[in-house]
Amino acid sequence: MTTPELDVRDPATTTPSFDVQQAHDMVGWLRNALTAAQVLAERAGGAPAVWHLQPSSHQFVNLVRRHPGSSIDHVVTWGGPTGAMSRPDAEHAARHHPRHELAIADYHLGLLDQHAVHEERIYRYDGDQRLLVPYATCAYCDTGNPAEAPHMGYPCPTIRGLLRAHRDLPGFNPEWTE
């Protein structure tokens, strides 16, 4: 679903950008979720270890991790007979090993820092009354010039994408991506 581009500086425009608290809530939730993902990845051996598959019996394979410079494989035991996993499950787990997930969380936190909430106050009309109201915009995307800014308001497309990517985590509010 695409939303039409709105000039959020137009006082008659209604936009979620006027809900500054919601902008801070969504960023706070996303930062907490990404930090939790980092902690889980680190606890699961996310440091320099690389996960890969090791042949096992029948239709199962072992998911193992090896630290750089080592020739010893450490079997990661998740389900299946004697700690083995079905090949599709093991391939998926190896592709999403903790080091990989840690790198993704680090990158997403960097995007979150780059596209931070910037608070402003702008004029908006309520009937015939002109009010100075709080307004949230993206510190990176909103250049302050409607003719040049790739996006004005909050959340910007980058933050919406991050929210969608992590929408399966507890505490997600679907209103944030509408």
Q: What total number of domains does the chain contain?
A: 2
Q: What is the pLDDT of residue 111?
A: 95
Residue 69 confidence class, pLDDT cut points 50, 70, 90: low
Query: Full-prediction pTM beyond 0.85?
Result: no
Domain carrying residue 55: 47-96
In this structure, what DSSP letter does residue 56 have?
-
86 compared with 84, residue with greater pLDDT: 86
Residues 33 and 54 in one domain: no
Residue 21 burial by Cβ neighbours in a 10 Å radius (0-12, 13-18, 19+):
exposed
Burial of 163 (0-12, 13-18, 19+ CB in 10 A): buried
Place of tokens 């997600």: 172
- Model pLDDT for residues 118-176, shown as the tens digit of each residue: 988 888 888 888 888 888 888 898 887 777 777 778 888 999 999 999 999 889 998 88
Ramachandran angles phi, psi of 11, nearest 5° = -60, -25
Residue 66 lies in a domain: yes
Instruction: Label residues 61-100 b or e (16+ Cβ within 10 Å = b).
Output: bbbbbbeeeeeeeeebeeebeeebbeeebbeebbeebbbe
Domain membership of residue 5 (yes or no) is no
Residue 110 falls inside a structural domain: no
* pLDDT band at residue 110 using 50, 70 and 90 as cut-offs: very high
124 with 154, same domain?
yes
Query: Do residues 119 and 168 both lie within one domain?
Result: yes
More confident residue, 102 or 49: 102
Domain co-membership, 82 together with 125: no
User: Distance between CA atoms of 124 and 176, rounded to whole angstroms?
Assistant: 23
Token pair of 102, please? 């840690």
Could you give the percent of the chain with pLDDT greater than 90? 21
Is 1 contained in some domain? no
- Looking at residue 79, what is its pLDDT? 47
Mean pLDDT value across residues 6-32: 70
Residue 57, judged by CB atoms within 10 A of its CB (0-12, 13-18, 19+), counts as exposed
130 and 167 within one domain: yes
Same domain? 27 vs 67 = no
| Average pLDDT score, the chain | 75
* Mean pLDDT, range 76-99, rounded to an integer: 63
Same domain? 31 vs 68? no
Q: How far apart are CA 36 and CA 101, in angstroms?
A: 11
Q: What are phi and psi of 147, to 5 degrees?
A: -75, -20
On whether both 52 and 71 belong to a single domain, the answer is: yes
Q: Side chain identity at 71, as an amino acid letter?
A: S
- 177 in a domain, yes or no? no
User: How much is the pLDDT for 161?
Assistant: 92
